[in-house]
């Protein structure tokens, strides 16, 4: 194990918290776990703080792991010729080999399935996974930085995204992007669904998989109808000899199904489907009220949680077993997020 990787929290079996599974997240250590930033400070990110009681965490500071102390002079990505290097202008040190070694060790030592998601420090030349400043040099001496030329990925964060997001289909975000309500909600949907699936794998029974699929049908319908059908097909194709293969295929398809945030059209389709389970027991006025809510949701005047809560209240009122078990009605612990966002608005 990397010497700086927090050992207390990795490889732990995610226990249930208030009926919810506990996702296992990797988080950049300076996001509220240690004062390891270049200036000796930490960053208390409100969302990470809210998450902490509900998740298991593994943390690392790649710069400290690469041998830089705290405090330290800042490092930058500098395009030296056509090769980006991780450079500390104040000392003239090229940190690239040490950082590549840390990154490689992390990739080699992290088991597939160890984490359900990643939260990285935004725009850091080490941890950032997108939109990181890349400075230009004169091509002869990296000390001759001539300004910030372009944007790229941090050395560690870029490798995390390449391996765990692109190859393994896991959610990778930074605390800046998670200010956006849509991105935050999608991230939460993914990590809690993946944590639930982790429990299916641990139980290693077809019944657990069937229950998981049934519990998530409306959620999947609202995210990716094609994915939902393919997941159903994989479950139905099970025969007694191939549980491991079935779980493996299901997990791969599940990650693909969850990759994109739900479109409002698909989510309205799912909500209408849910409504069909209770509508005949409602008064015409109540039916009209719900359909108006869907219009408001379509027009981005109310968040998804409003029609979802109304469906949940009908599920309780009519004791509708099918709806009550749907994770769409309660995909992650209440109070973990709120509707305030970065002002970028909802893009679905």
List residues near ligand SF4 by CB under 6 A.
Answer: 28-30, 36-37, 61-63, 121, 124, 126-127
> Which residue lies nearer to ligand SF4 by CB, 59 or 249?
59
> Which residue lies nearer to ligand SF4 by CB, 40 or 288?
40
Q: How far is the CB of 175 from ligand SF4 (least distance, A)?
A: 10
* Cα(247)–Cα(240) distance, integer angstroms: 12
Q: How far is the CB of 188 from ligand SF4 (least distance, A)?
A: 22
Q: How far is the CB of 329 from ligand SF4 (least distance, A)?
A: 36
Q: Which residue number is nearest to ligand SF4 in terms of Cβ?
A: 30
> Which residue lies nearer to ligand SF4 by CB, 34 or 225?
34
Tokens 């910030």 sit on residue? 148
Q: For 153-250, list the strands marked E by DSSP.
A: 172-174
Contact (CB, 8 A) for 29 and 60:
yes
Q: How far is the CB of 193 from ligand SF4 (least distance, A)?
A: 27
> Which residue lies nearer to ligand SF4 by CB, 30 or 179?
30
Q: How far is the CB of 341 from ligand SF4 (least distance, A)?
A: 23
Nearest to 95 by CA among 117, 120, 115, 124: 124
Residues 6+ apart with CB under 8 A from 59: 5, 6, 9, 26, 27, 28, 29, 33, 34
Nearest to 118 by CA among 73, 67, 172, 189: 172
Percent helix / strand / coil, the chain, rounded to 5:
45, 15, 40
**Angle of helix 264-276 relative to helix 284-298, nearest 10 degrees?**
170
Q: How far is the CB of 147 from ligand SF4 (least distance, A)?
A: 22
> Which residue lies nearer to ligand SF4 by CB, 28 or 180?
28
Q: How far is the CB of 68 from ligand SF4 (least distance, A)?
A: 8
> Which residue lies nearer to ligand SF4 by CB, 88 or 224?
88
Helices and strands: H and E segment counts in the chain: 13, 11
* Cα(225)–Cα(219) distance, integer angstroms: 10
Q: How far is the CB of 134 from ligand SF4 (least distance, A)?
A: 16
Q: How far is the CB of 67 from ligand SF4 (least distance, A)?
A: 12
> Which residue lies nearer to ligand SF4 by CB, 29 or 177?
29
Four-CA torsion 298, 338, 157, 153, nearest 10 degrees: 50
Q: Tokens representing 36? A: 């390891």
How many CB atoms within 10 Å of residue 339?
12
> Which residue lies nearer to ligand SF4 by CB, 121 or 190?
121
The three-state secondary structure class of 313 is helix
> Which residue lies nearer to ligand SF4 by CB, 118 or 275?
118
* Cα(90)–Cα(9) distance, integer angstroms: 35
Residue 29 dihedral angles phi and psi, to the nearest 5°: -65, -30
């Amino acid at each position: 194990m990397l010497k700086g990787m927090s050992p207390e929290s990795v490889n732990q079996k995610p226990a249930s918290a208030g009926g919810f599974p506990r996702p296992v997240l990797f988080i950049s250590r300076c996001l509220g776990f240690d004062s390891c930033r270049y200036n000796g400070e930490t960053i208390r990110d409100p969302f990470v703080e809210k998450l902490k009681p509900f998740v298991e965490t593994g943390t690392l500071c790649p710069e400290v792991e690469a041998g830089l102390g705290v405090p330290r002079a800042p490092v930058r990505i500098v395009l030296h010729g056509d090769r980006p290097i991780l450079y500390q202008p104040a000392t003239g040190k090229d940190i690239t080999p040490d950082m590549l070694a840390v990154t490689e060790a992390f990739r080699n030592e992290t088991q597939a399935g160890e984490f359900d998601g990643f939260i990285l420090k935004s725009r850091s030349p080490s941890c950032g996974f997108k939109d990181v400043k890349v400075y230009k040099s004169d091509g002869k001496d990296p000390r001759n930085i001539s300004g910030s030329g372009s944007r790229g990925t941090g050395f560690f964060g870029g490798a995390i995204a390449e391996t765990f997001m692109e190859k393994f289909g896991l959610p990778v975000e930074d605390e800046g992007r998670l200010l956006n309500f849509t991105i935050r909600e999608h991230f939460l949907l993914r990590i809690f669904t993946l944590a639930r699936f982790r429990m299916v794998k641990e139980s290693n029974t077809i019944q657990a998989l069937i229950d998981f699929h049934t519990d998530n049908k409306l959620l999947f319908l609202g995210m990716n109808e094609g994915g939902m059908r393919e997941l159903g097909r994989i479950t139905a194709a099970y025969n007694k000899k191939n549980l491991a293969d079935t779980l493996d295929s299901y997990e791969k398809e599940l990650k693909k199904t969850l990759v994109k945030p739900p479109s409002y059209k698909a989510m309205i389709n799912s909500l209408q489907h849910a409504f069909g389970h209770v509508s005949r027991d409602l008064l015409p006025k109540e039916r009209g009220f719900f359909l108006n809510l869907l219009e408001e949701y379509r027009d981005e005047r109310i968040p998804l949680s409003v029609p979802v809560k109304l469906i949940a209240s009908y599920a309780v009122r009519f004791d509708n077993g099918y709806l009550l078990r749907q994770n769409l009605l309660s995909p992650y612990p209440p109070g973990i997020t709120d509707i305030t966002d970065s002002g970028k608005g909802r893009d679905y």
